[in-house]
């Protein structure tokens, strides 16, 4: 068929009958990603947040002060609050109960006008009706007006009308649901720590709200046996649980974020005030660190991309500190003002606004777009922070001194960077001598292996695919950049070599479009030293090249732990479990003497541990690798570098706040916190002792 005929046929077939109308919540089930972002683990947990947000909005309005979230057996989730309870009377527009309308209709609820809520986190169409649509089964229990009411749903559709099941002296709502396995691509498996972390933050943001999270999955309790109770914690006294209640609000949250860091000043700044129907709440404290941490919330929703309230906050912060420093003599007349980056260094701050009519940029609510939030935040914070500096001169001096130090460091870093740039090192004009570059200039097919030491580097250079694979050996442990400024970093030969090889430059001239390799693979030994070097490199990437992690360019090589020879067959095992499967536990008889004789005869080199075992059928020789340098070029290619056979772990940041905290603990100066963290997480680590 000719091209013109095909076009004509396509055009004529697009008529009214081609328009599909999805009834009720069918649109949500057809395109779940549009409503919850992903059908993976994050989307699964997002259902909890959406149901919880309804209860939290009741608390924000002053109608509730107690929320219980329970992970039940069989993947059920139960969330209860002591709020007003969803109305159950007839809805004039839909001709069914208000409860059924809320649970089965998009864009229905007390947040879309009227006096239902003064402040809420909703307004983007994602809510309890979407959770209902994406659940195999859901049940709502309402306690209000002296009665208990219930309604059940299957994949968003009601089973029966709302019915009264008896009298009740309680008030509140209980939601119980089972996420639909047909929708979620991952196994339905909830992360209790993830739930705790998210809801702990919410407890800080709503002063006086009690939040209880219970992991009852191993309790064996049948949720139908708990009767008509609002809360079931009394039935689950032995189950793992966490309860949060904070009167200090954001003050407490700042103390929590800074618990592993050394404060620069004693008093935590705090202000809560409403201006022009915008409630502004801000807390901050400076710490002895170089990284800023500014967390933003709008109607208790975390805005990872900031927004207008953050813009107002940063403007007022820079202006106020410059004015005070000039007035107090912290900055001389001949010296330049602080920049926004100067006053942010070492700052931990939480900026929270609450408003009735709120606008976000994008479905995910990652960035606040409400214009009025900027002016309200700037005015409230600027006035209060200026007063704080005047009333707390010791704190003010410490904060100004911290910003002066940042200003001087910025100048020193700029001078050092300019010096290097003049030499052309960061522009790629002079690649480091130790870099064995690849032949292709197409970044999309180029790989950079960052390897530990010259020995592994030499082996990798021999075994690689020269067309697409480049090798950069690093000598020993690189500088810990967690507390190092840019001038000191650039002075480090190892870091400078890596920056030059990447091609992106660093700091304010970083340009990801100039990245020379779209796969940067960290290949270190499978021992404690190798793990430390890998952590140092990841710290560098996280603190100064975060777009490379966010873009999915950073990988960790997974070399095998064992080489197993059974006759002529060679098998590589990447864990002790894999080795056990290959060798078999019942048939193995250790025979160290035979292995020692064979090794001596073969003249085996290196420190690899080698043993030989006898099975009923044949001899099996096992070699334990301690480092990449113990492999020959062919082995390294087969196991670690060959794209067809290798195993790589892609580095990503699921939760930037948690990642930030881990780097603070592991790479900072608080020894007791680091020791505690390692002891608590030792069982989760793969160690080579």
For the chain, what is the mean pLDDT?
81
Element (H, E) at 609: strand 609-614
Confidence of residue 616 (pLDDT cuts 50, 70, 90): low
Choice between 10 and 580, residue whose per-residue pLDDT is larger: 580
What pLDDT does 249 receive? 86
Q: Is residue 638 part of a domain?
A: no
Within this chain, do residues 64 and 181 fall inside the same structural domain, yes or no?
yes
Domain stop point among 385, 415, 445:
415
Which neighbouring-strand residues pair with 175? 79, 140
DSSP string, 208-232: T-EEEEEE-TTS---GGGSTT-S--
- Residue whose token pair is 């081609």: 18
Name residues whose C-beta falls within 8 Å of residue 8's C-beta, 6 or more positions apart in sequence: none
Q: CA nearest 502: which of 545, 460, 463?
A: 545
Same domain membership, residue 603 and residue 550 = no
Closest to 352 measured CA to CA, from 395, 307, 317:
307
**Residue 452 among the catalytic residues:** yes
Domain harbouring 34, CATH code:
3.30.565.10
503 and 521 both lie in a single domain: yes
How many domains does the chain fold into?
4
Same domain, 108 and 213: yes
Same domain, 42 and 116: yes
Active-site hit among 53, 342, 525, 612 = 525
- Report the candidate in 248, 261, 221, 264 with the shortest Cα–Cα distance to residue 76: 221
In a domain, 32, yes or no: yes
Contact between 486 and 413 under an 8 Å Cβ cutoff? The reply is yes
For residue 632, is it within any domain? no
Same domain? For 152 and 77 the reply is yes
Final residue of a structural domain among 396, 415, 434 = 415
Token pair recorded at residue 427: 């522009």
The answer to the question of residue 631 being in a domain is no
Q: How many other C-beta atoms can be found within 10 angstroms of the C-beta atom of residue 352?
A: 26
Residues 528, 674 share a domain? yes
Instruction: Name the residue range of residue 262's domain.
Output: 250-415
Low-confidence winner among 91-105, 271-285, 552-566 (lowest mean pLDDT)? 91-105
* pLDDT, mean of residues 503-518: 88
6 falls within a domain: no
| Phi, psi for 287 (deg, rounded to 5) | -130, 165
Quick check: 498 and 475 in contact, CB under 8 A? no
pLDDT digits (tens, 9 = 90+) for 448-472: 999 988 888 899 999 999 999 999 9
The SS3 of residue 154 is: strand
406 and 487 inside one domain: no
Residue 634 resides in a domain: no
Residues 6+ apart with CB under 8 A from 289: 261, 346, 483, 664, 668
The domain that holds 480 is classified in CATH as: 3.40.50.670
pLDDT score recorded for residue 606: 41
Domain boundary among the residues 358, 388, 415 is at 415
Which positions ≥6 away from 234 have C-beta within 8 Å? none
Question: What are the φ/ψ torsions at residue 63 (nearest 5 degrees)?
Answer: -100, -10
pLDDT bin (cut points 50, 70, 90) of residue 229 is confident
Kindly tell me if the per-residue pLDDT of 407 is higher than 80.
yes
Is residue 377 located within the same domain as residue 473? no
Find where tokens 């020789």 sit: 621
Question: Nearest CA to 615 among 593, 589, 585, 576?
Answer: 589
Residues 555, 566: one domain?
no
pLDDT digits (tens, 9 = 90+) for 651-680: 887 644 554 555 555 555 555 554 554 444
In a domain, 664, yes or no: yes
The predicted-structure confidence for 102-152, as pLDDT tens digits, reads as follows: 898 876 555 434 445 555 554 333 579 999 999 999 999 999 999 999 999
Q: Taking residues 354-362, what's their average pLDDT?
A: 85
What mean pLDDT is predicted for residues 147-164? 93
Identify the active-site residue in 58, 81, 447, 452.
452
- DSSP annotation of 479: P
> Is 482 in the active site?
no
- What is the model's pLDDT at position 661? 55
Are 432 and 399 members of one domain? no
Phi, psi of 213 (to 5 degrees): -120, 125
Choose between 225 and 594: higher pLDDT: 225
Q: Which of 529, 550, 669, 688 is catalytic?
A: 529
Whichever domain contains 299, its CATH number is: 3.30.230.10
Query: Strand (E) positions, 180-291?
Result: 210-215, 241-244, 269-275, 278-286
Per the annotation, the verdict on 525 as an active-site residue is: yes
In a domain, 479, yes or no: yes
Cβ contacts of 85-88, under 8 Å, gap ≥ 24: 85/142, 85/143, 85/144, 85/145, 85/171, 85/172, 85/173, 86/140, 86/142, 86/144, 86/173, 87/144, 88/142, 88/144, 88/149, 88/162
Please check the confidence at residue 413 and state whether its pLDDT lies above 60. Answer: yes
**Which one of the listed residues 42, 305, 454, 527 is annotated catalytic?**
527
State yes or no: pLDDT of 485 exceeds 80. no
Does 76 share its domain with 131? yes
What span, in angstroms and rounded, lies between the C-alpha atoms of 495 and 14? 59
């Amino acid at each position: 068929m000719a091209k013109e005929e095909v076009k004509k046929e396509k055009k004529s077939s697009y008529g009214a009958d081609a328009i599909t109308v999805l009834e009720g919540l069918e649109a949500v089930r057809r395109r779940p990603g549009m409503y919850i972002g992903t059908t993976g683990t994050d989307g699964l947990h997002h259902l909890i947040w959406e149901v919880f947000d309804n209860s939290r909005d009741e608390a924000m309005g002053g109608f509730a002060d107690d929320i219980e979230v329970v992970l039940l057996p069989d993947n059920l989730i139960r969330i209860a609050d002591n709020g007003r309870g969803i109305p159950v009377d007839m809805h004039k527009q839909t001709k069914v109960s208000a409860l059924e309308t809320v649970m089965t209709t998009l864009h229905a609820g007390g947040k879309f006008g009227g006096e239902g809520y003064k402040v809420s986190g909703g307004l983007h169409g994602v809510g309890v009706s979407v959770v209902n649509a994406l659940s195999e089964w859901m049940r709502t229990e309402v306690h209000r007006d002296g009665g208990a009411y219930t309604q059940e749903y299957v994949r968003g559709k009601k089973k029966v009308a709302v019915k009264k099941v008896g009298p009740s002296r309680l008030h509140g709502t209980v939601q119980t649901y089972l996420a639909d396995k047909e929708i979620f691509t991952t196994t339905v498996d909830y992360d209790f720590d993830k739930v705790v972390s998210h809801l702990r933050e919410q407890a800080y943001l709503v002063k006086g709200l009690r939040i209880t999270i219970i992991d009852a999955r191993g309790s064996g309790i049948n949720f139908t046996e708990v009767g008509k109770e609002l809360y079931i914690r009394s039935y689950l006294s032995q189950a793992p649980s966490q309860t949060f209640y904070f009167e200090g609000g954001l003050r407490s949250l700042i103390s929590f974020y800074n618990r592993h860091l050394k404060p620069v000043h004693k008093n935590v700044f705090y202000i809560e005030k409403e201006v022009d129907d915008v409630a502004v709440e801000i807390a901050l404290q400076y710490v002895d660190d170089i990284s800023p941490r500014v967390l933003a919330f709008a109607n208790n929703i975390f805005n990872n991309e900031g927004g207008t309230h953050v813009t107002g906050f940063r403007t007022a912060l820079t202006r106020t500190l410059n004015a005070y420093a000039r007035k107090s003599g912290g900055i001389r007349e001949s010296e330049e003002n602080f920049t926004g980056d100067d006053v942010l260094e070492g700052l931990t701050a939480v900026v929270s606004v609450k408003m009735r009519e709120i606008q976000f940029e994008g479905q995910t609510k990652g960035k606040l777009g409400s214009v009025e939030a900027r002016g309200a935040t700037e005015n409230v914070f600027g006035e209060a922070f200026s007063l704080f500096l005047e009333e707390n001169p010791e704190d003010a001096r410490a904060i100004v001194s911290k910003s002066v130090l940042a200003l001087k460091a910025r100048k020193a870093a700029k001078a050092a960077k300019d010096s290097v740039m003049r030499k052309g090192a960061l522009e790629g004009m002079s690649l480091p001598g130790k870099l064995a570059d690849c032949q292709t200039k197409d970044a999309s097919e180029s790989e950079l292996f960052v390897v530990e030491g010259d020995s592994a580097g030499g082996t990798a250079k021999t075994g690689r695919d020269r067309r697409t694979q480049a090798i950069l050996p690093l000598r020993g442990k690189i500088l810990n950049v967690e507390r190092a400024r840019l001038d000191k970093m650039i002075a480090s030969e190892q870091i400078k070599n890596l920056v030059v090889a990447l091609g992106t430059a660093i700091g304010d001239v970083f340009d990801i479009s100039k990245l020379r390799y779209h796969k940067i693979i960290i290949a270190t030994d499978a021992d404690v030293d190798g793990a430390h070097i890998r952590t140092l490199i990841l710290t560098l990437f996280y603190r100064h090249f975060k777009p490379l992690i966010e873009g999915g360019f950073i990988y960790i090589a997974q070399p095998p732990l064992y080489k197993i020879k059974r006759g002529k067959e060679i098998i590589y095992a990447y864990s002790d479990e894999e080795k056990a499967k290959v060798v078999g536990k019942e048939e193995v008889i250790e025979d160290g003497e035979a292995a020692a004789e064979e090794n001596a005869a073969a003249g085996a080199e290196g420190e690899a541990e080698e043993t030989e075992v006898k099975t009923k059928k044949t001899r099996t020789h096992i070699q334990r690798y301690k480092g990449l340098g113990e492999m020959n070029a062919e082995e390294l290619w087969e196991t670690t570098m060959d794209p067809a056979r290798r195993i790589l772990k892609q580095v990503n940041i699921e939760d930037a706040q948690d990642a930030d905290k881990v780097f603070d603990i592991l790479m900072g100066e608080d020894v007791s916190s680091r020791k505690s963290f390692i002891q608590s997480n030792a069982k989760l680590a793969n160690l080579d002792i």
